[in-house]
């Protein structure tokens, strides 16, 4: 059996973090780490080296784009695939995020069960991963 994937969720909304964590742990059996802010997320990403990061775009203090930029500038975290979570679903904005170098964009609100499928699709992880 493959070792479980580890996902870091960076979102300032406690409820959203909880929903994502439960969804990923129950539906996929992945280990989920959570951070309530961009700065906390940067520290956790470097220390824990997760297999992927789910990053909220709209956060106080340091938004998702800024957080992603810092992840990219750090050799320890620049190769971790990062998926942005955004309530802004305009195609032009999604395109801008992709051009920044994010691995993918998932639009909120999302269905808990769809989330696992979307993450697997974006990261090209098969069912066993």
The per-residue pLDDT for 89 is: 65
Locate the domains of the chain by residue range.
6-123
Non-local CB neighbours of 41 within 8 Å, separated by 6+ positions: 8, 10, 35, 53, 55, 67
Could you please state the CATH topology (level 3) that the domain comprising 6-123 is classified under: Rossmann fold (3.40.50)
Angle at 15 between CA 13 and CA 19, to 5 degrees: 120
116 Cβ contact partners less than 8 Å away, ≥ 6 residues apart: 23, 24, 27, 28
CA-nearest of 74, 69, 68, 83 to 123 is: 83
Q: What is the pLDDT of residue 2?
A: 53
Banded pLDDT at 1 (limits 50, 70, 90)? very low
The answer to whether residue 129 scores a pLDDT higher than 60 is no
């Amino acid at each position: 059996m493959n070792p479980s994937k580890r996902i870091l969720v960076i979102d300032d909304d406690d409820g959203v973090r909880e929903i994502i964590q439960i969804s990923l742990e129950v539906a996929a059996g992945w280990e989920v780490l959570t951070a309530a802010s961009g700065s906390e997320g940067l520290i956790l990403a470097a220390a824990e080296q997760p297999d992927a990061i789910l990053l909220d775009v709209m956060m106080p203090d340091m938004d998702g784009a800024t957080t992603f930029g810092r992840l990219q500038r750090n050799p320890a975290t620049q190769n971790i695939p990062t998926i942005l979570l955004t309530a802004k679903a305009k195609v032009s904005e999604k395109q801008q995020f992709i051009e920044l170098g994010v691995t993918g964009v998932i639009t909120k609100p999302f269905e808990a069960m769809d989330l696992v499928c979307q993450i697997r699709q974006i990261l090209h992880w098969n069912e066993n991963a």
